[in-house]
Structure 1
């Protein structure tokens, strides 16, 4: 059970209404992270952006000594940093965390550069292979389209001596093939329970072609209150000051606005009922001002717990949740739901055969 650190300027009381006190900063994102750690979450996603927010790797290294039990799911964009140096940085952070680093692989365009899908994902595969080898303390010989190097691993390694789990998401065929070949945990965005189950079945088949298995994570928002009515009221309040043009502008700042996954989130919202619900307890209003995960699990504690269990039944192993404002919703979910769930962090050996 993971929370979300809003490093990418993604924190609001009213969606689309910037609040300087909630803007991404070291102090604010540190407070979100430490709140989640003290509340008993297993992990926290530290997202990566360029135009939005603060640097992920720098923040992870700063907050790592302050986190007592939680993992840090640190997002890194493949191709953005020279991979041998990235391996050293990540191994250093893992040591600071006493072995609790996890890695979110990002494959969107590097700022200032645009690549077609196929070469971009080819670059991602090459970076992932080399990064995994170096973090496994293995020598590298890679003569690819984007990397051409022969290199021994650096002296510093992770606490376990092995590569932390790679979390990876994407919905195009190219992205799914990369995940099947190189990821450990495949991340999907909020969707109907049946659709998430179909995605997992598809990915199981793709991974089997490489003699591998995957774990699965769901990245979603959550709004939980003591009653269903109060939760729906909180959802409606969140978007009560949102102008659709402002929301579209916020979405357009992301580097992944044209992706297959974002298109699916838009489709989910378009097909929702007039009150924004795509199915029971799955509300799509968040997607009016967010290019990525665009739906929230909304309801009372029993309903939210039942929804999580429904996703578990179709194969979800992990949840990365968020809510607005992030600190308040982190505490509410911990109070009402987290303490009722038997949970533990994913470990290095879980996914890869």
Structure 2
């Protein structure tokens, strides 16, 4: 069970209404992360918005000495760094975290670059393969289409000498192929229960075709209140200030705004009822004012818990959740839902030798 650090200028009281106190910054995003640690979440996603907000890698390095139990899910964009330097950065941060680093591989275009989907995902597959070899401690002699390198692994490797778990998402055919071949956790955006179960089964079968096992992750927003009526009212209030044009401008700021995943989120919105619900507790209104994951699980604590358990039964292994504003919803979800969920806390890949203070 993971939370979201909102590094990419994505924290609001009301979507589309900027608040200087909630803008991405070291003090604010640190507060979100430390709240997640205090409330018992296992991990926290540090997203990459490139032109939006602060840098996730620098943030992870700064945060690492401040957390003792929390894992960090660091988003890295393919193509920003040569692979040996990326491996070196990740190994160093994993050392600082005493084995608690996880990595979210992002395959979107870079600023000033427009690369068609198929070659972009071929590049991603090469980078993930070379990165895994280096972080597993193996020397690399790779002469490919996008990566051409002969290099030894970093002298200072990860805590356990293995590559941290690699999360990866995408709905297009090339993205699904990359996930089946190279990811550890395939990360989905919100969808109906039936569609989620179908995709989970498909992706596990694809991985099995390559002799691999694949876990499934689910990235969603949550709005939990004492009653369903209050939760639905909070959802309506969250988007009350967003008009169609402002929502379009916000969505188009993202470099993944034309992806298959974003298109599916739009399809869900188009199929929703007048209040934005596509299923009893799956609300698509958030997608009116943000790109990426565009739906929320909305309801009272029992309804939200039952919905999450439904997705778990459909094949989901890991959840990455968020809510607005992030510190307040982090607290509400932890007190009213997380405390009663059966989830095994993540442990470092190799337990470090330190004592509790």
2:263 alignment counterpart = 263
Give distance in 2, aligned partners of 1:243 and 1:267. Answer: 19
1:94·1:159 contact (CA, 8 Å) conserved in 2? yes
2:246 alignment counterpart = 246
Give the count of matched residue pairs: 349
2:99·2:348 contact (CA, 8 Å) conserved in 1? no
Instruction: For residue 345 of structure 1, report the CA deviation from its aligned partner.
Output: 4.5
2:100·2:348 contact (CA, 8 Å) conserved in 1? no
- TM-score scaled by structure 2? 0.96
2:162 alignment counterpart = 162
Equivalences for 1:186-205 in 2 at 5 Å? 186-205=186-205
2:135 alignment counterpart = 135
Secondary structure of 1:219's counterpart equals strand
Structure 1: segments with no counterpart, 5+ residues: none
Moved more, 81-90 or 327-336: 81-90
Equivalences for 1:17-56 in 2 at 5 Å? 17-56=17-56
Instruction: For residue 344 of structure 1, report the CA deviation from its aligned partner.
Output: 2.6
1:218 alignment counterpart = 218
1:174 alignment counterpart = 174
Instruction: For residue 62 of structure 1, report the CA deviation from its aligned partner.
Output: 0.4
1:293 alignment counterpart = 293
1:43·1:345 contact (CA, 8 Å) conserved in 2? no
Give distance in 2, aligned partners of 1:8 and 1:267. Answer: 24
Tell me the alpha carbon deviations over residues 135-171 of structure 1, each in whole angstroms, 9 at most, x when there is no partner: 1111111110011111111110111110110000000
Secondary structure of 2:80's counterpart equals coil
Structure 2: segments with no counterpart, 5+ residues: 350-357
Equivalences for 1:1-353 in 2 at 5 Å? 1-345=1-345
1:165·1:348 contact (CA, 8 Å) conserved in 2? no
Give distance in 2, aligned partners of 1:291 and 1:320. Answer: 16
1:164·1:348 contact (CA, 8 Å) conserved in 2? no
Secondary structure of 1:269's counterpart equals helix
TM-aligned CA distance change 1:138 to 1:91, over 3 Å? same
Secondary structure of 1:72's counterpart equals strand
